[in-house]
Amino acid sequence: MGDGRTSLWLLKKKDVALRTLDPYYMERVGIFMKEVGKQLAPLQINKGGNIIMVQVENEYSSYATDKPYVAAVRDLVRESGFTDVPLFQCDWSSNFTNNALEDLLWTVNFGTGANIDQQFKKLKELRPETPLMCSEFWSGWFDHWGRKHETRPAKDMVQGIKDMLDRNISFSLYMTHGGTTFGHWGGANNPAYSAMCSSYDYDAPISEAGWTTEKYFLLRDLLKTYLPAGEALPEIPAALPVIEIPEFHFTKIAPLFSNLPEAKQTVDIQPMEQFNQGWGTILYRTTLPEAVKSGTTLKITEVHDWAQIYADGKLLTRLDRRKGEFTTVLPALKKGTQLDILVEAMGRVNFDKSIHDRKGITEKVELVSGDRSKELKNWTVYSFPVDYSFIKNKNYQDTKILPAMPAYYKTTFKLDKVGDTFLDMSTWGKGMVWVNGHAMGRFWEIGPQQTLFMPGCWLKEGENEILVLDLKGPVKASIKGLKKPLLDVLREKAPETHRKEGEKLKLTGEKVAHEGAFTPGNGWQEVRFTTPVKGRYFCLEALSPQANDNIAAIAEFDVLGADGKPVSREHWKIRYADSEETRSGNRTADKIFDLQESTFWMTVDNVAYPHQLVIDLSKVETVTGFRYLPRAEKNYPGMIKEYRVYVKPADFKY
């Protein structure tokens, strides 16, 4: 349930438990699958269609261990008519046995650089005669706002495919052709909430706009060598035309606060789903029942996902869920002050337990002073959806003065000929764009994406209409169409690493909770402590490497609680990492709990051991051990050998 309508209607039920045997959820999965079956079951290969396999759930072992649930989904898939082709499960090599059903095919997902033999080692042991398949071979990765543009080396990708072809292993390339999450459809990851950009170029062999790349030609050259005798690859189709559009300016503006939709009333604050809204922007408005002293904290539980707070129309601050910003210190405010909280929903979390990702303000707003807190009540609520029908008829006024408040912008531009182009949004703040009624996607000045792909099929000769919602405000209200995208311009000034300048962890005198050595090789390793330790701050100190180098790397990490099971990672933060590689990619320490095996923390190669990593678990836990997954690439670069663990209720000294 990545984003949009499905999330809206499922999350309106406050106690829904997604991806479980929750009767309400399963009933709706059944309804959905029945409709899927009506349309697609007739297209199975034995009936003349092109469906050769059908997947049951997706990477569920990274979500939970619940074979009865997976079996129930399998039964619904069969009941919907998919009985003539093999059914299969896909997971990672490290966890596929968690929910493996005996009557399904098992496939493995992994990405560029993976050690192919190692990825299939366990599967071959368990099913020596089974056909082997990588159901998702990742050619790249998706981009997140405020993070570097993601790329993967072309040679490494092609080598991985050669390794599979030479071993008679089937694969599906994810992605062959990059795409675009038009409109509001970009998703997000959590923990460490991180919303995805509109571009889904994915560093794929064929780009977002359908262009051939270095990866494409390397892959094509490889595949040529595996063709049956006498066969040849077809010619590459001609590229679609690309145009430039001269700069055009916006003069018609409709401020958001002057174009309020119908008001709704609620005593208690509620997420936007309760107002029948699934995406877009929502305004919560109340008046302060009494005067507020300077220094009082406004605490929001929680902002999902980006908020602007106003007092009597004056902007006080902005809060960003990506940075864990849920509080602000208020100035002195009079009784009766109008408090406005404008919240934009960014991408819905599409992985792990956080898919229960309600938008707006999820629980409450409080005024906190010392040990006293008072919840604010009696809210007037305004919903701003992202439908073109909602935004096209606002009260647009001609003005040359750019408003400092959120606003809609409208203009037209003329074209003599049409073609694909890239709308340059680099002078704008944060918002969305519609052209001729089509929602193009989100923009955000922080990058790395600065342009929006504009397919030529949605443009027309003559006059074209363009609307922009900018929640922050542009530096310059103009747009031009470029011939090439800008996907790698990062303007975020936030620190790239989890270490303040001059900070160095001091472990002298600290009590060691556990020490030991990891075994070399891929896959999860679990460590149990002799004695449980209570603490909120968990430090792993890597003392030595398996190989003769300086690098330490971790793909995924779990801390085990009092019951011996992994504790929730939803509110984890990295407090400190002695070294993080940000030159060659996003190898930051928060990658150890992003639920993705192909992303990892890695230290800089010229920084010597020991290496330290401190996790803020967000609350005191009874720690009984941990689980560690090294990165999965060939030769396991960064594999740690000897280590020590420290656990403390209070933070370490630096």
* Tens-place pLDDT, residues 587-620: 999 999 988 888 999 999 999 999 999 999 999 9
Residue 192: per-residue pLDDT: 84
Residue 385 is encoded by which pair of tokens? 């959806």
DSSP secondary-structure letter at 131? P
DSSP-based three-state secondary structure for 162? helix
Query: Which residue spans within 118-169 are E strands per DSSP?
Result: 133-138
On whether the pTM is more than 0.85, the answer is yes
pLDDT at 425 over 50: yes
Contact 343, 306 (CB under 8 A): yes
pLDDT at residue 1, rounded to an integer: 31
Residue 39 φ/ψ, nearest 5 degrees: -85, -35
- pLDDT tens digits, residue range 370-393? 999 999 999 999 999 999 999 998
Alpha-helix runs per DSSP H in 307-406: 388-391
Q: What is the reported pLDDT for 586?
A: 85
622-644 residue pLDDT tens: 999 999 999 877 766 899 999 99
Q: Which of 247, 243, 207, 248 is nearest to 483 (CA)?
A: 243
> Taking Cα atoms as reference points, which of 508, 548, 546 lies closest to residue 643?
546
Cβ contacts of residue 145 below 8 Å, gap of 6+?
194, 195, 196, 197, 322, 346, 444, 446, 447, 449
Write down the residue that tokens 């000045």 correspond to.
445
Residue 494 predicted with pLDDT over 60: no
* Predicted local confidence at residue 17, as pLDDT: 96
pLDDT in tens, 102-113: 999 999 999 998
At residue 240, does pLDDT exceed 60? Answer: yes
Give the up-direction half-sphere exposure of residue 581: CA atoms within 13 A in the CB hemisphere.
Answer: 19
Cα 499 to Cα 234, 503, 570, 586, 628, distances in angstroms: 52, 6, 21, 15, 22
Q: Is the pLDDT of residue 144 over 50?
A: yes
pLDDT at 235: 95
Task: Please give the mean pLDDT across all residues of the chain.
Answer: 95
Options 27, 35, 57, 59, the catalytic residue:
59
Spatial distance between the Cα atoms of 258 and 14, rounded to a whole number of angstroms: 33
Rounded to whole angstroms, the Cα distance separating 159 from 177 reads: 19
pLDDT > 50? residue 2: no
Confidence of residue 5 (pLDDT cuts 50, 70, 90): very low
Q: Which of 514, 582, 587 is nearest to 555 (CA)?
A: 587
Indicate if the pLDDT at residue 561 is higher than 80. yes
State the distance between the two ends of the chain, measured CA to CA, in whole angstroms.
42
The rounded distance, in Å, linking the Cα atoms of 76 and 53 is 15
What pLDDT is attached to residue 150? 93
pLDDT of residue 9: 85
In this predicted structure, the answer to whether residue 346 has a pLDDT above a threshold of 60 is yes
Residue 361 CA to residue 306 CA, distance in Å, equals 10
List Cα–Cα distances, 616 to 387, 622, 627, 648, in angstroms: 40, 14, 16, 10
User: Does residue 503 have a pLDDT over 50?
Assistant: yes
Beta-carbon contacts of 51 under 8 Å, excluding residues fewer than 6 positions away, are: 40, 43, 44, 45, 82, 85
59: annotated active-site residue: yes
**247 labelled catalytic:** no
pLDDT, position 203: 96
Using alpha carbons only, give the angle 394, 5, 345 rounded to the nearest 5 degrees.
Answer: 60
Q: What does the block give as tokens for 338? A: 């109008």
Q: Which positions ≥6 away from 62 have C-beta within 8 Å?
A: 91, 92, 95, 351, 352, 595
Q: Please, which pLDDT band fits residue 402 given cuts at 50, 70 and 90?
A: confident
Q: Please give the average per-residue pLDDT across 285-308, as a whole number.
A: 98
What gap in Å lies between CA 501 and CA 647, rounded to an integer? Answer: 24
Q: What is the pLDDT of residue 583?
A: 84
- Please, which pLDDT band fits residue 3 given cuts at 50, 70 and 90? very low
199 near 180, Cβ under 8 Å? yes
- Where are the extended beta strands (E) located within 471-567? 478-482, 514-517, 525-542, 553-554, 556-560
How much is the pLDDT for 6?
Answer: 55
Closest CA to 485 of 174, 141, 128, 202: 202
Catalytic residue (one of 27, 125, 129, 136): 136
Label residue 218 by pLDDT band (50, 70, 90). very high
- Residue-level pLDDT at 8: 82
Strands 314-320 and 379-384: unpaired
